[in-house]
Amino acid sequence: MTKDITLDHVSVSFGDYTAVDDAHLTIAGGEFFSFLGPSGCGKTTLLRCISGFQEPSWGEVRIGGKNMAGVGPNKRPTALIFQNLALFPLMSVADNIAFPLEVRGIDRKARRKRADELLELIALPGQGDKKVGELSGGQKQRVAIARALAVEPDILLLDEPLSALDLKLRQHMRRELRAIQQQVGLTFIYITHDQGEALTMSDRVAVMSRGKVEQVADPRTVYDQPASSFVASFVGENNALPGKVLESGDGRMVIDIGLAAPVTVAAGKGRGRKLKVGEACHVFVRPESVAINGDGDINRFNATVIREEFEGQVRHLIVKSGETELRVTQVGYGNGASGTGASVAMSFAPELAVPLPIGHLASA
């Protein structure tokens, strides 16, 4: 019943500018799928290709196996929720929700009934006669979702719908969106530059940069096993340590990253890429993967704390060893070491470091 969406080598160019470069992936029916990337990475253009507001320059978009070329947005089984929601300010809440039914010529009474049902679903019962302007940000959000669900589309497309909300509400709406998705069982395609949103809600995430899809995987894999240096640096915080491969052997590599001694990293077990001796690379070590005053023997080095950032439940230390700066995150007060200028022993496990070939990084 649910329909797969296939992007078959989809590219979009505007003049000389390539907005989407050969996106090739399949989204399963019923999936919560996110496109994650910084602004300008092509994710919105891709969404417009799926919704029908943009025709691909090359390749095709198939929904349920059917090529969508030449099929207008009003004829596709998709419903789009705009970044600014695009509710109609001059209509009541119920009229907004029932608008898709109205344009299909469904009579007033049936429209109202369906609108009331949907208001029930989004936990705003009896609010149909209000003006849109009387609703709060979160309520508007839910009305936009209800309006999109009114004609029972197969696929709901969401273009950063939470970006206008404040932090608490955003977190609340994440859970709510996920709950609605599971309740109605539709395919949700979600566009965001907020990795927190993408990771918490999605079944799978496609990370995009400069028009290219860099990795498609479930959130854990994206976080733990980034496929490219862009993904490693964009998703979550990461120390990108430039280095050079000294040894590349069976399941492990030795890499010089400017610390007192070369480090050993695991290779070929899903994390990172197996690299050739002499190749320049980046070793990615997450701030939380570095242990302070731990008992590990491997990859142990001394560093000096040059700055400390307190963030409540976590504490970031910026430490320097030789010419290499690292960011280290500890929960609570960790192993004590603190204070600018303090000298600490650090270590990280070889399997927590991800070596990747040199590529572009996410700009901070």
Alpha-carbon distances, residue 209 vs 39, 191, 198, 274, 359 (angstroms): 9, 13, 15, 23, 12
Select 105 or 278, whichever has its Cβ closest to another protein.
Answer: 105
Structure tokens at 320: 């320097």
Query: 291-292 and 343-347: which strand pairing?
Result: antiparallel
Among 3, 43, 147, 193, binds another protein (CB under 8 A): 147
Among 34, 44, 45, 78, binds another protein (CB under 8 A): 78
Q: Is 86 in the site for another protein (CB under 8 A)?
A: yes
For the bound state, the minimum distance from the C-beta of residue 38 to another protein, rounded and expressed in Å, comes to 22
For the bound state, the minimum distance from the C-beta of residue 134 to another protein, rounded and expressed in Å, comes to 18
Among 17, 70, 90, 166, binds another protein (CB under 8 A): 90
Nearest CA to 351 out of 304, 284, 256 is that of 284
Q: Is 53 in the site for another protein (CB under 8 A)?
A: yes
Select 94 or 263, whichever has its Cβ closest to another protein.
Answer: 94
Cα Dmax for the chain: 77
For the bound state, the minimum distance from the C-beta of residue 100 to another protein, rounded and expressed in Å, comes to 4
Q: What is the DSSP string of 295-353?
A: ---TTEEEEEEEEEEE-SSEEEEEEEETTEEEEEEEETTTTS--STT-EEEEE--GGGE
Q: Is 82 in the site for another protein (CB under 8 A)?
A: yes
At 234, which helix (H) or strand (E)?
helix 229-234
Q: What burial class does residue 346 get, using C-beta atoms within 10 Å of its C-beta: 0-12 exposed, 13-18 middle, 19+ buried?
A: buried
Instruction: Give the binding range for another protein (CB under 8 A) out of 133-141, 148-156, 193-201, 219-227.
Output: 148-156
Assess contact for 145 and 122: CB atoms under 8 A: yes
Q: Is 83 in the site for another protein (CB under 8 A)?
A: yes
Select 78 or 195, whichever has its Cβ closest to another protein.
Answer: 78
Assess contact for 131 and 92: CB atoms under 8 A: yes
For the bound state, the minimum distance from the C-beta of residue 183 to another protein, rounded and expressed in Å, comes to 21
Please tell me the count of residues contacting another protein according to CB under 8 A: 26
The interface mask with another protein, positions 98-137, x = CB under 8 A, is -xx-xxx---------------------------------
- Helix 108-121 to helix 167-184 angle (10° resolution) is 120
Q: What burial class does residue 187 get, using C-beta atoms within 10 Å of its C-beta: 0-12 exposed, 13-18 middle, 19+ buried?
A: buried
Distance CA 207, CA 67 (A): 25
Instruction: Give the binding range for another protein (CB under 8 A) out of 11-19, 75-83, 191-199, 309-317.
Output: 75-83
Instruction: Give the binding range for another protein (CB under 8 A) out of 36-44, 73-81, 107-115, 308-316.
Output: 73-81
Select 59 or 100, whichever has its Cβ closest to another protein.
Answer: 100
For the bound state, the minimum distance from the C-beta of residue 84 to another protein, rounded and expressed in Å, comes to 6
For the bound state, the minimum distance from the C-beta of residue 223 to another protein, rounded and expressed in Å, comes to 33
For the bound state, the minimum distance from the C-beta of residue 83 to another protein, rounded and expressed in Å, comes to 8
Residue 208 phi/psi, 5-degree rounding, is -120, 145
Distance CA 231, CA 359 (A): 10
Give the residues lining the site for another protein (CB under 8 A).
Answer: 51-53, 72-75, 78-80, 82-84, 86, 88, 90-91, 99-100, 102-104, 147-148, 150-151
